[in-house]
Amino acid sequence: MDIEKLWKTILAEIELSVSKPTFHTHFAQTKLVNLKDGVATIGCTSPLMRTLIETKYYSLVKSLLDAHTKLNTSLVFVVLPKQLTEKEAGPLFAQALSSPSTDFIALAKNLRINPSYTFENFAVSTTNQLAYAAATAVAKTPGDAYNPLIIYGGVGVGKTHLMHAVANRLINKKPGTRVVCSMGEEFLNEIIAAIQTKSTQAFKRRYRSAQLLLIDDVQFIAGKVTAQEEFFHTFNAVVREGGQLILTSDRPPGEIARLEDRLRSRFEGGLAVDISPPDFELRAAIVNIKAVSLGVVVPADVGQLIAANITDTRAIEGFLRRLATEAATRGTPPSIELVSSLLRIKDEGGAGEGSHRVSPQELLEAVANHFGIKQTTLKGPKRDRPIARPRQVFMYLARVELGLTHDDIGGLLGGRDHTTVMHGVSTITQELSTNVALRQGVEGIKNNLFHLSTKS
């Protein structure tokens, strides 16, 4: 049986069964790796895509395979290793970033779009991969993919970057695209000013004629009757004319307090994706990307030290600017010693998230206290879930927040193998994107940990 031809047939039928954005995001890059003894091995491009397809579309894929093979198949999903060309490698592997033209920068700035916020310099990891995939799908077929696309998450996780990346991609392809970009608070203030100056018609024409409407921090209009009324009609007008809306928020639509039901219904009719705080690997990639854009040469070990100590992505850029200035002033390249010195200076000044000095023992104590178990139990041999989950949380935090190696973490936990630690870190990293309770627990441990650290 020609499995390549079989899979093409299966994909063609899947494409008819799901929406176009879902197909391109989830299935287009999959591959039937093997079909033997009734077991179909299906390759996916990432752990996140593997989980999504296996969770949501297992039955669909199995039924199609059964129909074409006349077998009762079992499905196994694996992550495909991929050899990347320089062009395909994307933002995590780019060695240099191309600079936009002067005309493009002027056009973007005139539209209030940051020209440096592009897909090419957006670092992708499991914490933001789905949002990235959705944004690229929207950029490819605006108004036909996810409409509206709502990206939500905390401060500095990349929501605005992705939103502006869509705009930059569109105006680069079609400079005449009518793009309107506004903050939620500005939208509210403009309505008030339009009413006061009797210029509401001009306000309506500007927003309702948009082919791409971007509203940052849309939660600000919640509870404002006039703003919600106008946004409801603006929303309908843009969609009716085939335009695309992209909104960002600090929380999902269902959790925005005092949002009118009709708006909530419109928001939930599109796609809402969250971006979790960046893990250690993603922060390290962000350090590399921002260093390249700033023209700063940062060795790998220096970048990893920065990523281990600064968790806010905006703070990373600020620190790199300071590092470049200090290195130039001292006439020395960025080094471990210089970064350590600057981080200590930040501690003495009492500023900067992620600059706290936390020992592995303090982390062990914080995790044990949070889960109500003994530290010796975390280090012990028991593997049942009530013990295994806290142990994996410790592994994740030790790797991401303290920057410890897998071997070091295994040593702290009674001599566990580094592969066990890798699995634990991977498990927590993936679940943080979908498990709200786990995410809140991890954040609670971190907050308590840093609080204790500042007191010591």
User: Going by C-beta distance under 8 Å and a sequence separation of 6 or more, which residues neighbour residue 387?
Assistant: 373, 377, 378, 380
User: In whole angstroms, what is the distance from residue 358 CA to residue 362 CA?
Assistant: 6
DSSP state of 43: E
Q: Given the DSSP bridges, would you call strands 271-275 and 39-44 parallel, antiparallel or unpaired?
A: unpaired
Asked if residue 148 has a cis previous peptide bond (ω within 30° of 0), the answer is yes
Q: Which two tokens stand for residue 406?
A: 């897998």
Residue 159 counted as an annotated binding residue: yes
Q: What is the largest CA-CA distance in the chain?
A: 75
Q: Given the DSSP bridges, would you call strands 212-216 and 179-183 parallel, antiparallel or unpaired?
A: parallel
Helix axes 313-330, 300-309, angle to 10 degrees: 130
User: In whole angstroms, what is the distance from residue 29 CA to residue 45 CA?
Assistant: 7
Residue type, 200: T
**Phi-psi sector, 142: left (phi>0), alpha (psi -120 to 50), beta:** beta
Q: What's the chain's Rg over C-alpha atoms?
A: 24
CA distances (Å), 193 to each of 196, 210, 336, in order?
5, 20, 52
Residue 156 counted as an annotated binding residue: yes
Is residue 182 helix, strand or coil?
Answer: strand
Residue stretches of the annotated binding site = 156, 158-160
Annotated binding site for ATP: 156, 158-160
